[in-house]
Amino acid sequence: MIILALGKFYPTAGCSLRHRSVWQLLCATILSAQCTDERVNLTTPALFKAYPTPKDLGEAKQEDVEKLIRSCGFYKNKAKSIIAASKMIAETFRGRVPKTMEELTSLPGVARKTANVVLGTGYGINDGIVVDTHVTRLSNRLGLSKNTEPEKIEKDLMRIVPREEWTDFSHQLIAHGRTICQARAPKCAECPLKFLCHQKGA
């Protein structure tokens, strides 16, 4: 019921990080950690204009990249990650972002969540389900998982959501979390899933 309802109310939900290539998506996803997608979208145009290819960014000076991404927060670690990941993509993967979970998570700064974004949104490969703060919150509220750890929540969701819907499902759940089922002030009266919610008025 929940899967059907989400599909009905958010049929066009997708990744809100603007990108023109899988590599740009990867960098944007790394930058989005503990930062809004809106802020990332304001930051990446200048970054990708200065460094249009993985090779360019892989050869960049960290301090120069830090200046461009400073507003995204944790800019020193993020600059280090996107430079190192881009360098590895250019040198080890011949300029192409890899298409497997194992190879993606071998890149600096890339854990399972980022890899799921790249595989699902970038390549259309349903290898897992993206579990961010919205998915974590809604999975608990809707009774889809009792766990709080992202990897455990992902396993719970993968058991109940058809594989072909994994990417769309995460986009739809995130869209619902942003628009209706917000953390501090959920709009329960407007919620199309209120009759399925395990924490009405949460």
Residues marked active site are found at 113, 132
Helix (H) or strand (E) holding 65: helix 62-69
Q: How far apart are CA 42 and CA 30, in angstroms?
A: 15
The angle, 0 to 180 degrees and rounded to 10, between the axes of the packed helices 62-69 and 37-50 is 140
Q: How far apart are CA 101 and CA 91, in angstroms?
A: 19
Q: Which two tokens stand for residue 158?
A: 């993968």
Check the CA dihedral 139-144-148-152 and report its sign.
Answer: negative
- Coil/strand/helix, residue 100: coil
